[in-house]
């Protein structure tokens, strides 16, 4: 385990005192590093010299994704394709708790950096491996992006309206799920290491991370011969739970539980609907889903969104608007919980981003800095951890190693 930083240097985070070396790029691996760094782990991000992680250039209109996904991390440059670079990585591994990588399966072994090699250097090392298809199986060495994993895992087929081809969610959800499961696995392995003193490998694939979220879709087929398909804005036979029109937009109302539906009918001034044979049970409402949605929509379209939300809150019926970024920034609940916070950045004076999550009562996470410049921590990491001098670093840079 890395030396525990003093409270003055790191006054936060349940993972302080742990060190991660992060390899790879884009999202599937680095989001795991972001989660760990958010909660106090020292995450040393290894990037190729000169070019860095491709995420440095991502973002709509401005490259503002890097400040989020690399926040709280230290950036060093290192050419892992060179033998000298591989040896330097091994030196960094000696005192690391985690190594995170999301290269195509077999890449680390090709460089002599497979788990068996690294475990000889540091048997306590936990190696976190995030790929499209996992480390084993006939697809293991295929290139795998999040969209492919989302499709193979079953999510893409369920996204969108049945009248259109399968949609994507609009986010890199497969990558983020794989990174989240990688984080969960790493913390499980950390607990096990406290018992055995030994590390292990976390094998998190994108397609299986998506599959893990697929609820009962598989047994629905094996036991009942039913295959779920796209259903648009509803879950079939779960009613009422839909998007309904207001005079100035749309509002989500979810009142599919018997007692909640009764409260909705009272708010509508139609309490008799709760006793109507077509709507008086979950099964009955499911069978008459469309006519019930049409009935509610005829009522909601006479009110503004604000009026509907006020009535639903008073009646104890779950409801809400469909938020975009401007709504999030002005919402008082977001503000009260500091769900979005400003972060200082030399190039983006108005930079705001989602705060650390989940919230821990005793050791909360914190955003200490936005994603750093390429190689910003070379002197610190190579100097303090490996004892290299300025002349050493200059020589390594001249050879293209860092």
Omega cis (within 30) before 387: no
Token readout for 348 is: 């983006």
- Is 64 within the bounds of a domain? yes
Residue 129 sits in the same domain as residue 59: yes
- Is 135 within the bounds of a domain? yes
Give pLDDT tens digits for 190-206: 999 999 999 999 999 99
Predicted local distance difference test score (pLDDT) of residue 1: 43
- The residue out of 322, 339, 357 marking a domain boundary is 322
Predicted local distance difference test score (pLDDT) of residue 9: 46
CATH code for the domain of 204 = 3.40.50.10540
Predicted local distance difference test score (pLDDT) of residue 24: 87
Residue 181 sits in the same domain as residue 51: yes
Predicted local distance difference test score (pLDDT) of residue 144: 87
Q: Is residue 97 among the annotated active site residues?
A: no
Q: What is each CA distance from 398 to 75, 374, 395, in whole angstroms?
A: 19, 17, 5
Contact yes or no for 40/14 (Cβ under 8 A): yes
Give pLDDT tens digits for 102-122: 999 999 999 999 999 999 999
* Banded pLDDT at 11 (limits 50, 70, 90): low
> What CA–CA distance (Å, rounded) separates 402 from 394?
9
- The residue out of 304, 322, 340 marking a domain boundary is 322
Contact yes or no for 203/129 (Cβ under 8 A): yes
Question: Residue 46: phi, psi to the nearest 5?
Answer: -95, 120
- Is 10 within the bounds of a domain? no
Residue 156 sits in the same domain as residue 40: yes
Residue 37 sits in the same domain as residue 144: yes
Residue 391 sits in the same domain as residue 316: no
Residue 266 sits in the same domain as residue 385: no
Give pLDDT tens digits for 237-278: 999 999 999 999 999 999 999 999 999 999 999 999 999 999
- The total of other beta-carbon atoms located within 10 Å of residue 239's CB is 25
Give pLDDT tens digits for 331-378: 999 999 999 999 999 999 999 999 999 999 999 999 999 999 999 999
Token readout for 208 is: 């299986």
**Among the options 38, 53, 175, 203, which is catalytic?**
175
The SS3 of residue 150 is helix
Give pLDDT tens digits for 51-104: 999 999 999 899 999 999 999 999 999 999 999 999 999 999 999 999 999 999
Residue 129 sits in the same domain as residue 206: yes
Q: Answer whether 0.85 is exceeded by the pTM.
A: yes
- Is 236 within the bounds of a domain? no
Residue 200 sits in the same domain as residue 259: no
Q: In this prediction, what percent of the chain has a pLDDT beyond 70?
A: 97
Which residues form the domain of 299? Answer: 241-322
pLDDT at 10 over 80: no
Residue 200 sits in the same domain as residue 245: no
Average confidence (pLDDT) over 212-224:
96
- Is 1 within the bounds of a domain? no
Residue 67 sits in the same domain as residue 187: yes
- Is 123 within the bounds of a domain? yes
Residue 262 sits in the same domain as residue 209: no
Predicted local distance difference test score (pLDDT) of residue 4: 36
> What CA–CA distance (Å, rounded) separates 7 from 249?
49
CATH code for the domain of 286 = 3.30.1540.10
pLDDT at 284 over 90: yes
Tally of domains in the chain = 2
Residue 318 sits in the same domain as residue 353: no
> What CA–CA distance (Å, rounded) separates 104 from 208?
16
- Is 184 within the bounds of a domain? yes
Token readout for 131 is: 């790929």
> What CA–CA distance (Å, rounded) separates 364 from 358?
8
Q: Look-up: residue for tokens 């000298």?
A: 84
- Is 45 within the bounds of a domain? yes
Predicted local distance difference test score (pLDDT) of residue 6: 36
Alpha carbon 313 to chain centroid, angstroms: 30
Contact yes or no for 103/25 (Cβ under 8 A): no
> What CA–CA distance (Å, rounded) separates 26 from 66?
9
Q: 171 in the Ramachandran plot: left (φ > 0), alpha (ψ -120 to 50) or beta?
A: beta
């Amino acid at each position: 385990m890395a030396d525990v930083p003093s409270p003055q240097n790191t006054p936060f985070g349940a993972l302080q005192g742990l060190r991660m070396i992060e390899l790879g790029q884009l999202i599937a691996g680095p989001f795991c590093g972001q989660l760990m760094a958010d909660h106090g782990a020292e995450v040393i991000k290894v990037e190729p010299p000169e070019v860095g992680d491709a995420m440095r250039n991502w973002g709509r209109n401005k490259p503002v994704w890097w400040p989020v996904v690399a926040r709280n991390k230290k950036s060093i440059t290192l050419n892992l394709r060179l033998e000298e670079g591989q040896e330097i990585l091994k030196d960094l591994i000696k005192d690391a708790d985690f190594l995170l990588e999301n290269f195509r399966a077999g890449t680390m072994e090709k460089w002599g950096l497979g788990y068996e090699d690294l475990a000889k250097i540091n048997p306590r090392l936990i190696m976190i491996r995030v790929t499209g298809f996992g480390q084993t199986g006939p697809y293991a060495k295929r290139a795998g992006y999040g969209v492919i994993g989302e499709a193979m895992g079953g999510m893409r087929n369920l996204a969108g309206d049945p009248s259109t081809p399968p949609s994507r969610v609009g986010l890199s959800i497969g990558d983020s799920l794989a990174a989240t499961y990688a984080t969960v696995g790493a913390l499980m392995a950390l607990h096990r290491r406290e018992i055995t003193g030994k590390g292990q490998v976390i094998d998190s694939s994108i397609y299986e991370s998506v599959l893990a979220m697929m609820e009962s879709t598989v047994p629905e087929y094996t036991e009942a011969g039913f295959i779920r398909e796209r259903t648009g804005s509803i879950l079939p036979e779960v009613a009422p739970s839909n998007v309904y029109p207001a005079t100035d937009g749309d509002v989500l109302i979810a009142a599919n539980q018997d007692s909640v539906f009764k409260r909705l009918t009272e708010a509508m001034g139609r309490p008799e609907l709760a006793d109507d044979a077509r709507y008086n049970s979950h099964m009955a409402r499911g069978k008459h889903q469309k006519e019930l949605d049409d009935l509610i929509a005829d009522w909601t379209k006479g009110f503004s969104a604000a009026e509907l939300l006020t009535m639903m809150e008073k009646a104890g019926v779950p409801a809400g608007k469909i938020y975009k970024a401007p709504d999030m920034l002005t919402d008082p609940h977001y503000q009260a919980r500091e769900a979005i916070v400003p972060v200082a950045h030399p190039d983006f004076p108005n930079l705001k981003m989602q705060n650390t999550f989940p919230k821990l009562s005793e050791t909360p996470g914190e955003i200490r800095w936005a994603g750093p410049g390429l190689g910003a921590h070379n002197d610190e990491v190579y100097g303090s951890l490996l004892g290299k001098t300025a002349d050493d670093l200059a020589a390594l840079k001249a050879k293209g190693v860092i």
